[in-house]
Structure 1
Amino acid sequence: MPNLPDPLPWPEAVAPDTTAFARQAILNLNRTIFGFELFDRSLAQGTHTSASDAALLFNVLSHAECEVLMQRKIIFINCTHDTLASGHLELVPPERVVLELPPLDAPQRDDVETHLMALTDIRRRGFRLAFDQSVLTEPHLSWRPLASFIKIDISHASESELSAWVQMARQNPKARLIAEKVETEAQFAMAQDLGFTLFQGYWFAKPILLSGKTVRPAQAAIIQLINLVRQQASTAQIEDVLKRDPTLSFNLLRFINSAGFGLKHEITSFRHAVMMLGLKKLFRWAALLLTTSQGAGTSPAVANLAVVRGRLMELLAADSLTPEECDNAFVVGVFSMLDTLLGMPLAQAIEAIALPDTVVDALLHKQGLLAPYLELTVACENADDAMFAKASATLKLSSQQVNWAHLQALSWTETLVD
C-alpha cells in the first residue's frame, strides 16, 4: 500500500451544480466486481432528467479519480428515454456504459414502438442497454432483442415465479441476467441455481450476522497485534507477534518496502520496520490488513467497501474533528463490516479488540460523535436520499463536499496493494 498524500482541498471546480453520486457493485459468479451502478445523489426530490443523466456521466467519466475508480469496470446508469435523443451521450464512450432504461407507464404505452427506434439507434452506436423484467411482458416485448442485460428483482418473488422469468429471458440468449436486490445468502444461492450470472444487492454490502465461527489464526494474530499497539506495548512484544506469524510479518515487510515509502535501503528487520512505522501507522496498517483478510466465502467487494467506508469517514471528519478522532473515524468505517468479514456478530468481533469508547458507541449503539459520519457513509453507498439529507445536515456538509470526499475515498482504496 503506497504512502498516500493528505486529502486534497475542496476543488474550486466543484460548483453548486456538481453531480454527487453513490455506487453499488454488480458482482459475477465468483463474487468479484463486474461493474458499478451509479446513483445520482444531487437530485432534488428525486427529479430525473436527460440533463441530470448527462451531468452524472460527464462528471464521473471526466474526473481523474474516477478514471482510477472505474478502470476496467463497466458503469451502469439509470437514464430517461429523453436522454437517448438529447445528444448528451455523444460526450461519453459507449464501451464504458450500460444504460438502464425504465418501462413506460400505462398512459405512454402507445409510444413503445416509437421508443423502439431510439433504442435501436443507441444500440447501433455501441451502447448496451439494461431493462427490468417488464421487458419480458407485453407491451415491451419488442424491446427484448435489444437487451444486453435484464435485471430481475428477486426480493419478493417466489422461486417458481423467478424460474418463469428466467425461461422468458432465455428467449434472448445474448442478454445476461442480473439478480437484483439480493438480500440473503439463500437468495444468492437460489439465483445461482436458476441461472443468474450477475448479482446486485445489500447482501454484498450490508453486514451478515453469523454465529458459531472462530477467528482464523491469521486474523487472531492481527487482533493480538492491534491490541498490543493500542496498549502501546514495547517493540519487543510487537516483534514477538510478528515472528510467530509468517504471513503477518511478510505483509508488513512488503508494505514498508513498497515504493510509496521511498526508502533508500530495504528493511528486513521486524524491529526496524516497527520503529520506522511508529505505533499510529502500524495500527492503521493492521486495521486494513484485518479488514482485507476476509474468511472463505466472503466477497472481495465487501472488503473493498469496508476500506472505502473508513477512508470516507476519515475525510468527512477532517475539517471538524481532532486528528485522533479522525483516526477513530477511519477505524469505525473499516470495522463496521467485521461481522461479515470474520463471520460472527459485530459485538463478538470487536469484543476481542481494545477500542476507544467513541468507536464502540458508533459501531454497536449507532450513537456518539462518530455515528453521523457512519450514517452518512452508508447513505452514500445505498442511495438512501432521506438518510443522506439527514446525516449531511447534521454534520453541516454539502453534497459537493461529500461527493468530493467520496471520490477521493474510492480512488484511494483502488490504489491499495492487494
Structure 2
Amino acid sequence: MDPLSSAQARGEAKPPVSPHTRFVARQPILTKEEKVFGYELLFRDGVEDYFRATDPDAASRNTLDSSILLGLDVLCGGQRAFINCTREVLLKDYMTLLPPNQAVAEILESVPGDDLVKAACARLKEAGFMIALDDFMPNDARESLTEFADIIKVDIRQVPVAEQAAMIKRYGPWRSRLLAEKVETRQEFLEARKAGFVYFQGYFFRRPELMTARDIPANRINYLRMLQAVSKPELDSREIEGVIKSEASICYRLLRYLNSAVFGFPSEIHSVRHALSILGEREVRRWVRLIATLGAGQGKSSELVLSALVRARFCELLAGKVPHGSSDLFLMGLLSLMDAILEISMPEVLDNVPLDQETKAVLSGAASPLRPLYQLMLARESGEWQDTGHLTRSMRLSESEVAEVYWQAMQWARQVNSE
C-alpha cells in the first residue's frame, strides 16, 4: 500500500506547489561527519525565472508564497537551500522571498563585487541570511565580498592543493567556513577534511567503501538475505518471516510502519506473520526491500538512503509508461545504490540477489533495454537538464510528466524516511 495514495484517498489536501519547483534538482552538501547540512538547488530554467514565476508582483513580496515553502520542504527536508544568486537576484532582493533560516545566498563567480552588490549583501546579512561565495579562486574579483561570506566554496579540481591550504589559512576558520566542491572519491573527502575544509559537495558518499566478506557485519548479511528472500520467483513466507525476525530493529520498524496512520489499516498488525498475510505478495516484496534498505543505511549518510528511495519510486511510477518486460523497476532503482549502502561491490550485490537479465545488465553497466530509463533516472537526479530532455523525448515522454513523477517520488521518499 502506498502511503501517499492512502493519504489522498482519505481526502487530505496538500497545498499547491509552484510548477517551477518541479524543475529543480539538488546536490547535497555534507559535514565532516557526512551529515546533510544543505542542498545546492539547480534550476532548469534559471533562478530568475523561478522567482519571477513565483512572485510576479513586487508589491506582494512581504507575503511569502506557501508554494515556495512547501517546495523547499520537499526538496531539502528542513536543511538549508543554497540558491545560486546572479546580480539580478541580489539587486532585486528576490532572496527575501525565502525564510533566512532555510536559505543560503550563493553568489556566483560572474557577479562583480561592486557597491550595489555589496549593499545587497549587507541587506541580506541584516535580514539574517547566510552568504556563500561560489567557485572562489585565488585573487578572486569578489575579494571585497568576503567580509559578508559565511561560507567560501572552493573547487578542488580547479585550485591546486597549495593554494587551497593558503585559502584555508587566510579565510578560515574564524572568518568563514570553507567548502570543498567536486569531491568525487572517498580519498579526496578524507584529504579535504584533513586540510581544514568544513563542508563537502560531490558524490563521494555514493561510492562504496569496499569491505571483504569476513568484515561485513552480521546485520548487513541479514539485509542481503532479506533482499534474496523477496527476490525469488516463488515467495517462501516462512523464510521471509525468519529473516525479518532475526533482526529485531527491522522487525520493529516493519510493524511500526504498518501500524502508522499513513496506512490506515482497520486493526492493529501485531506480528510479522500477520503483516505478511495482510500485505499480499507484491506489497511484501516491495516493503521488505524498503525496510532492508532503510536498515542497511543506518549509520550511513541519510542522503544515500533517500536517493535510493527516490530512484526506486521514480522508476516504479514510470513503469506504466515505458516498456520493461518482467523487470521490477522499483528494485532496479533501489539496488542502484545498494553497493554503497552495504559497502560491497556491485558484482557481489548482483551475485546475491536473484534478478532478471535485463536488470542485472543495466546495474553492471552492460547493454540493456532498461538503459534509457536508468540514464534518465541519473540525469534527472543530478540536474543534467539537456540529457534529461533528450532521454525524455527518446522515450516518448513529456518533460512535465517526468518532472511531476520525480516530484512525487521525492515526496514519497521523504514521508517514508521520516516514519
Within a 5 Å distance, the mapping from 1:81-96 to structure 2 comes to: 81-96=87-102
Whole-angstrom distance in 1 between the partners of 2:223 and 2:234: 15
Contact 1:78 1:99 in 2 (8 A): yes
Aligned match of 2:23: 20
1:37 aligns with 2:31: no
Counterpart AA for 2:372: P
Counterpart AA for 2:40: E
In the TM superposition, what whole-angstrom CA distance separates every residue of 1:279-325 from its partner, at most 9, and x where no partner exists? Answer: 21121122222322336863221111111111112223333457965
Closer, same or farther: CA 209–283 of 1 in aligned 2, 3 Å: same
Closer, same or farther: CA 89–225 of 1 in aligned 2, 3 Å: closer
Displacement of 1:151 in angstroms is 0.6
Aligned match of 1:267: 269
Contact 2:25 2:381 in 1 (8 A): yes
Within a 5 Å distance, the mapping from 1:77-116 to structure 2 comes to: 77-104=83-110, 112-116=114-118
Aligned match of 1:341: 341
In the TM superposition, what whole-angstrom CA distance separates every residue of 1:297-355 from its partner, at most 9, and x where no partner exists? Answer: 63221111111111112223333457965xx1111111101111111211111210111
TM-score for the superposition, normalised by structure 1: 0.84
In the TM superposition, what whole-angstrom CA distance separates every residue of 1:87-146 from its partner, at most 9, and x where no partner exists? Answer: 5444333332212112348xxx6x634432333233333332210353763542211111
Counterpart AA for 1:380: R
* SS state at 1:94 partner: coil
Whole-angstrom distance in 2 between the partners of 1:267 and 1:14: 35
Whole-angstrom distance in 2 between the partners of 1:25 and 1:181: 11
1:187 aligns with 2:185: no
Counterpart AA for 1:356: D
Displacement of 1:381 in angstroms is 2.2
Which range moves more in the overlay, 25-34 or 64-73?
64-73
Computed over aligned residues only, the root mean square deviation of the Cα atoms, in angstroms, reads 3.3
Can you give the 5+ residue segments of structure 2 that lack an aligned partner in the other structure?
A: 9-13, 56-63
Aligned match of 2:179: 178
Aligned match of 1:220: 221
Paired residue for 1:304, among 306, 315, 323?
A: 306
Aligned match of 1:364: 364
Whole-angstrom distance in 2 between the partners of 1:239 and 1:132: 51
In the TM superposition, what whole-angstrom CA distance separates every residue of 1:159-191 from its partner, at most 9, and x where no partner exists? Answer: 332211111212x72422211111111111112
Closer, same or farther: CA 301–175 of 1 in aligned 2, 3 Å: same
Closer, same or farther: CA 147–135 of 1 in aligned 2, 3 Å: farther
Contact 1:209 1:346 in 2 (8 A): no
Whole-angstrom distance in 1 between the partners of 2:312 and 2:65: 24
Counterpart AA for 1:308: V
Displacement of 1:400 in angstroms is 1.9
Displacement of 1:235 in angstroms is 2.6
In the TM superposition, what whole-angstrom CA distance separates every residue of 1:30-89 from its partner, at most 9, and x where no partner exists? Answer: 212111111012x3xxxx473455448999953745434434211101121111223544
Counterpart AA for 2:91: A
Closer, same or farther: CA 306–62 of 1 in aligned 2, 3 Å: same
Counterpart AA for 2:188: Q
Counterpart AA for 1:129: I
* SS state at 1:50 partner: helix
In the TM superposition, what whole-angstrom CA distance separates every residue of 1:206-251 from its partner, at most 9, and x where no partner exists? Answer: 4337352454322323333333332323333333333444334333
Aligned match of 2:352: 352
Aligned match of 2:60: none
Closer, same or farther: CA 335–122 of 1 in aligned 2, 3 Å: same
Identical-residue share of aligned pairs (%): 28
Whole-angstrom distance in 1 between the partners of 2:249 and 2:89: 51
Within a 5 Å distance, the mapping from 1:113-132 to structure 2 comes to: 113-132=115-134
